A = this chain, B = another copy of it.
Amino acid sequence: MNPTIKDVAKHANVSIATVSRILNSTSAGYSEGTKKRVKAAIEELGYKPNAVARGLINNKTQTIGVLFPNVSGMVTSELLHGIENVTHQLGHSVIVCNTASQGKRTLDYLQLLNEKRVEGILFASEMLTDEYYEAIKDMKVPTVLVSTKSQKHLLPYVKVDDQDAAYTAASYLIEKGHRKIGMISGNPDDMIAGLPRIEGFQAALRDHGLLTEKPSVFSAEGFSYKEGMEMFKKLRQEGEDITAVFAASDEMAVGAIASAYKMNIAVPNDISIIGYDNIKISEMAIPPLTTVAQPLREMGEKAAELLFEMLKTGEDGQSIIMPHRIVERESVKEL
């Protein structure tokens, strides 16, 4: 077995109370001499404090839980990276939960995190259902939403304003001289990343007097590469005169590029494409993809910081709207 504080105490000829004080560098409570002896004993025995026991008595586990659909997505892995960074910097650990894995495990995960007594929760990029909210509320630990939000339940969130960002993307296309612009979107029933982006897109067209009665928006179920390909094909069938398209995700945009390539239509010469996210593949596309960047890594960091802020102050936490920006590469041509 691992040596315990008792062993150290015995070895140094002091009480466990004293060892504890030294371990926690409690202000005074021991002399320099004993401190040395104890430190020596710790060293010699290779003693490592037991965080579990500590957690029990302090009611603090120094651990937070992070809930993600698909851990392996490029968006989420960037978020995770940011989260992990500041979390560990602050001496805590992160337990990851992949909610989309198999069936509706989200509730099970929440239960698990509750039993493990995590000190906080980061809930990422999935719709927060009433059910989830109740479970979270029951846990009575600070929670922040990452890259998602809920108007019904007021939990603080960290995300970019999807509608604004989409508006920016469409406006960018318009500035570049495009007049017939189409969109490849995710699910319009998705109130987080679906509808808002469509609305932002349409708002930009409207504000520039470009909104026709039948706006060319092609919606898929998700945001995948494959769906990007399909929707691009449809869009192209519907109207040959479209000179630019806004894709609701970089994956979709890359799919659109691939689709265009197959149909022998050149990007950006025949048609311009702008994406959304700015994940790694966007610079690897041919041509490199112009896109609306979300500062994913930083969003993860900010979310974690906010969570720990709440943990420290006990206050409610202010949502943070992260800035988005256009990253110009080579998939959009000026008309």
Contacts and interface: CB of A to CB of B under 8 A. Distances in A.
Taking residues whose C-beta sits less than 8 angstroms from the other chain, chain A's interface range is 35 or more
A215 interface: no
A138 interface: yes
A81 B116 CA distance: 21
A180 B45 CA distance: 61
Contacts of A98: 81, 84-85, 88
Tell me how many chains of this kind the complex includes. Answer: 2
Interface stretch (A7-15, A70-78, A152-160, A170-178): A70-78
B94 A95 contact: yes
Contact of A286 (B50, B115, B257, B283): B257
A114 B48 contact: yes
Label chain A's interface by main secondary structure: helix
Contacts of A56: 50, 52-53, 56
B88 A97 contact: yes
Interface in A10-49: 46, 48-49
A318 interface: no
B95 A49 contact: no
16 contacts: A48-B115, A50-B115, A50-B117, A51-B115, A52-B117, A53-B56, A63-B116, A74-B280, A93-B116, A94-B95, A95-B95, A225-B284, A251-B284, A254-B284, A258-B284, A281-B281
